[in-house]
């Protein structure tokens, strides 16, 4: 194993820990906006995970998957934020 393999391993471990921490905050989040932010952070972490996997394999076949995850994460976060804003506006 060379140094780059160790770097990839550490990167995957750190990304996994970050996903676990954001999922914990997703469950424990005190407000809806915290949960929306955690979903957005989780989608960014998943995109990062796939991007590192692309770098490890050296295969660019998953670039479409990265772009799709990015667009779905953005649209999902935007939709959830607009829904939360309307809900807060309706409450008063």
Q: Say how far apart CA 62 and CA 65 lie, in whole Å.
A: 5
SS3 67: helix
- Top pLDDT among 28 and 81 is at 28
pLDDT digits (tens, 9 = 90+) for 19-65: 999 999 999 988 888 888 888 899 899 999 999 998 888 888 888 88
pLDDT exceeds 70 at position 77: yes
Per-residue model confidence (pLDDT) at position 14: 97
Residue of 25, 9, 18, 33 lying closest to 85 (CA atoms)? 33
């Amino acid at each position: 194993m060379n140094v780059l393999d160790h770097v990839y391993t550490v990167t995957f471990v750190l990304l996994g820990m970050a996903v676990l921490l954001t999922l914990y905050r997703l469950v424990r989040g005190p407000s809806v906006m915290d949960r929306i932010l955690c979903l957005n952070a989780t989608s960014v972490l998943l995109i990062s995970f796939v991007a590192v996997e692309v770098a490890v394999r050296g295969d660019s076949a998953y670039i479409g998957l990265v772009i799709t995850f990015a667009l779905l994460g953005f649209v999902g976060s935007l939709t959830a934020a607009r829904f939360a804003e309307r809900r807060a506006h309706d409450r008063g």
